[in-house]
Amino acid sequence: MPTEIKVCGLSTPETIEAAVTAGATHVGLVHFEKSPRYVSMRKALELRKLLPSSVKAVVLLVNADVKTTGEVIETLKPDVVQFHGRETPEWIELVGKKTGVETWRALGVKDRDTLFKSRRFEGAVDRLLFDAPAKELPGGNGETFRWELLSEFEHRIPWGLAGGLGPENVAEAIRATGTELVDASTGLESAPGVKDVDKIAAFCEAARNA
């Protein structure tokens, strides 16, 4: 089965078009004010409307309260909500059951123990997204981690790979881990929060051809 491709942190119609044209299966919109990729609800709605039904809209939230989470889902009607903070399995499972939206949980992988602990999300999320450990920001830091940890682990939950991916290493990452989905943001930028349409195209092409 072809590897799915998520291009995250888009904020302009031009980059949305670039991702769709290049063959991305998912597009990520960041609704987290501390991120340089943040888009307001109004802007996110404008961008959401540009996506064809064949490309899934993913809205990224970080420790959002109940009110914000509800407003995002009701207004944007995303295909996926990606939780990227300290959200518990119980909370994410409740959101999924109440709204019917697909739910993902991002986890920073420090060591093998992180992967074993991730099993607490079994039955509570639709996908885990393994990323590099958080720093000042929970994600989008442009750093990789030890991919061999993933290839050696018995996965019980659908999963994807993030963290420092770009056109130059995504094929290697797919071959090394066997990931079902790749997710890139920082590696596709010319400056923080500024996506490069040529890098988006190159990333998608490299992922498809891996």
Task: Name residues of the chain where pLDDT drops below 70.
Answer: 134-144
Helix axes 66-76, 41-48, angle to 10 degrees: 30
List, in sequence order, every beta strand (DSSP E) within 26-115.
26-30, 56-61, 80-83, 102-108
Query: Helix count (H) and strand count (E) of the chain?
Result: 8, 10
pLDDT of residue 111: 86
Domain interval for residue 17: 4-209
Instruction: Using DSSP, state whether 162 is helix, strand or coil.
Output: coil
Q: What are phi and psi of 130, to 5 degrees?
A: -85, 125
Distance of CA 22 to the CA centre of its chain: 17
pLDDT of residue 134: 58
Q: What is the CATH number of the domain that holds 51?
A: 3.20.20.70
At 177-196, the pLDDT tens digits run 999 999 999 999 999 999 99
β-sheet bridge partners, residue 128: 105, 159
Question: Residue 186: how many CB atoms within 10 A of its CB?
Answer: 23
- Does the pTM surpass 0.75? The reply is yes
Residue 58 token pair: 């993913």
At 109-145, the pLDDT tens digits run 988 888 999 999 999 999 999 998 755 545 444 556 7
Q: Are 58 and 104 in contact (CB under 8 A)?
A: yes
Measured CA to CA in angstroms, residue 48 lies from 77, 151, 172, 194, 209 at distances of: 9, 34, 31, 18, 27
Tell the residue number behind the tokens 């991919």, with chain if given. 147
Task: Supply the DSSP symbol for 169.
Answer: T
pLDDT of residue 145: 73
Task: Supply the DSSP symbol for 38.
Answer: B
pLDDT of residue 148: 86
Domains identified in the chain, total number? 1
β-sheet bridge partners, residue 131: 108
